[in-house]
C-alpha cells in the first residue's frame, strides 16, 4: 500500500517569529497535516484508528532545512508526502516542502510509524491481511 498526497499551506501570522519568517515548529505541523491528508484517502484505516482497534506510534522524526530563507507570512508552500512500508514493517512518510510559486525547495524530512493492536506491534503480513480483509 503506497499513498501520496500534496498539501498546500499558507504561513499564518502566529507561525512566524520576530524576524517575520516561519519558525521551525511549523514544519512539524505541515508534515503531520500532510500525513493526515494522506491517511484520509483510506477511510477504513481511519475507522480502525478512530474505533481504537489500532494505534499509530511515531517512532522517528527528522527534518532538514534546505533553503536559505524561511517562508514569510502569507507565503504559499506545497508539502508533498509519500508513504511506504519498510522491511522492518514500519510505515515511513517522506516529505518535501517547496514554495508554490517557483518550486524552490525549503525543507525535507521523514517520519517512521508503527501500527499497534492491543499494545503489540502489527507485523507486515498481519497488516496486509487485515487491510485486504477490509478492502483497503
According to DSSP, the residues that pair with 10 across neighbouring strands are 76
* Domain encompassing residue 107: 4-133
Least confident of 56-60, 63-67, 85-89: 85-89
Model confidence pLDDT, tens digit, residues 78-119: 999 998 888 777 889 999 999 999 999 999 999 999 989 889
User: What's 126's domain CATH number?
Assistant: 3.10.129.10
Distances (CA, A) of 132 to 16, 44, 45, 127, 136: 44, 11, 11, 9, 6
114 contacts 121 by C-beta, under 8 angstroms = yes
pLDDT of residue 72: 94
Q: Regarding predicted confidence, which is higher, 39 or 128? A: 39
Q: What is the pTM of this model?
A: 0.85
Q: How confident is the model at residue 42 (pLDDT cuts 50, 70, 90)?
A: confident
Dist CA 72 CA 102 (whole Å) = 15
Q: Is 44's pLDDT higher than 80? A: no
Can you say how many angstroms the Cα of residue 81 is from the centroid of all Cα atoms in its chain? Answer: 6
Dist CA 71 CA 106 (whole Å) = 8
98 contacts 65 by C-beta, under 8 angstroms = no
Domains contained in the chain, number: 1
Q: Regarding predicted confidence, which is higher, 107 or 1? A: 107
Amino acid at each position: 500500500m503506497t499513498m501520496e498526497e500534496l498539501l498546500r499551506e499558507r504561513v499564518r501570522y502566529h507561525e512566524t517569529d520576530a524576524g517575520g519568517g516561519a519558525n521551525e515548529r511549523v514544519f512539524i505541523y505541515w508534515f503531520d497535516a500532510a500525513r493526515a491528508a494522506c491517511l484520509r484517502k483510506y477511510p477504513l484505516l481511519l475507522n480502525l484508528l478512530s474505533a481504537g482497534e489500532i494505534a499509530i506510534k511515531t517512532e522517528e522524526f527528522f527534518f532538514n532545512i534546505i533553503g536559505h530563507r524561511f517562508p514569510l507570512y502569507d507565503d504559499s508552500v506545497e508539502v508533498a508526502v509519500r508513504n511506504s512500508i519498510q522491511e522492518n514493517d514500519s510505515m515511513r512518510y517522506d516529505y518535501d516542502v517547496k514554495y508554490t510559486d517557483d518550486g524552490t525547495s525549503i525543507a525535507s524530512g521523514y517520519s517512521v510509524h508503527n501500527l499497534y493492536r492491543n499494545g503489540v506491534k502489527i507485523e507486515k503480513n498481519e497488516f496486509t491481511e487485515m487491510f485486504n480483509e477490509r478492502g483497503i
